[in-house]
Structure 1
């Protein structure tokens, strides 16, 4: 599916969810007020929608990545200081990646596996049982 169609689909999904999901929209607004006390309600609303749109794009990208090639995954990623990782692997040393929810960090596991081999992921239990079951 072409990228522009996925972007349009993400936009439509995010518009609908943004309108219906009052609970999380309120949480986002509280957080935006804390981070950006100088922004007015309209600016915060615009930022909040961008969050929903980004999340929709991410979700569709995850689905799209399920049946993609190593080459396409690696084309989306840049490994900074790759020589450090390569040297550690060459010396058979373990490597621990620590990351936050910034950017498309979930793509790391796919890209690492495509370039270097198997990877294990550790995370904490989700609060939502429904999300855990996904």
Structure 2
């Protein structure tokens, strides 16, 4: 069944991916109408999240942000499909970096990097970074259920010298790379919600106490890697600009969870500046009523 699904769906995705951007975003507008107006995909979750973290905003404000979010959400869907056939030149034109010298400086220092980001702006095209740096790239991801689509996603990323690894593989792969003396840059989307029963750390995110993933911080300390945050700004439709910010080059000097807390503060700042570009469909605050006594 997985192969049949792949055989049927892949040609459709490929045909969409070769559309010129003008038609691609026209398709996004059509998808927006059905996803938001007709189906209402996770609309209640989105609006509940917005009301939760923005209690002072009016219902009109919530409705406006919701609509803007779904427009961006649908754009990201078609941009992900476009990754199948987008050229390197197109990618470089549309996804720019404001301060690559920060990464180049760490490269000169022979420092590997933990690159932390959130589900904000666009993270689909960040892989073009590998065409600007010499670090070997890894990104932690969740394996797709369909093994054929999983291989496809890995193949797309490999075009830019980026390699996808699962959470379980991460430590072994990065430890082996360090042992070999390889310079690596390792991407972590670190704002997801861990299981409440397995969380080592709880803290406030957008004013609400939640469990937080600490894996990126723990690996940075264990493998002595610089920790860099990257923020993505949407310039206009289909065009993004990324800025790197150093959290620390000496992670072992930080108290436990201090790096994680700094990361979330940076994510908050992004959200407050332009909330429509955060991924509100995820139930990020679903564990807010399960805070253990020791973290209250």
Fold equivalence (TM over 0.5):
yes
Q: Which residue of 1 aligns with 2:248?
A: none
Contact 1:29/1:44 (8 A) holds in 2? yes
CA distance in 2, matches of 1:4, 1:39: 34
Specify the structure having the higher radius of gyration (Cα): 2
Say which structure is richer in strand: 2
Q: Which runs of 5+ in 1 are unaligned?
A: none
For residues 1-134 of structure 1, the aligned pairs below 5 Å read 1-18=19-36, 19-21=38-40, 24-109=42-127, 111-116=128-133, 118-123=136-141, 125=142
CA distance in 1, matches of 2:21, 2:99: 30
Say which structure is richer in helix: 1
After superposition, the C-alpha distances for 1:5-35 in whole angstroms (9 at most, x for unaligned) are 222211111111112135x111111111123
Q: State the 1:39 CA deviation.
A: 3.5
Structure 1 pair 42/15, CA: closer, same or farther in 2 (3 Å)?
Answer: farther
Q: TM-score with structure 1 length normalisation?
A: 0.77
Contact 1:14/1:49 (8 A) holds in 2? no
Contact 1:28/1:48 (8 A) holds in 2? yes
CA distance in 2, matches of 1:2, 1:77: 17
Q: Indicate the SS of the match to 1:78.
A: strand
Structure 1 pair 129/68, CA: closer, same or farther in 2 (3 Å)?
Answer: closer
Q: Indicate the SS of the match to 1:116.
A: coil
CA distance in 1, matches of 2:121, 2:76: 9
Count of aligned positions:
128
Q: State the 1:129 CA deviation.
A: 5.6
Q: Which moved more, 1:36-45 or 1:98-107?
A: 36-45
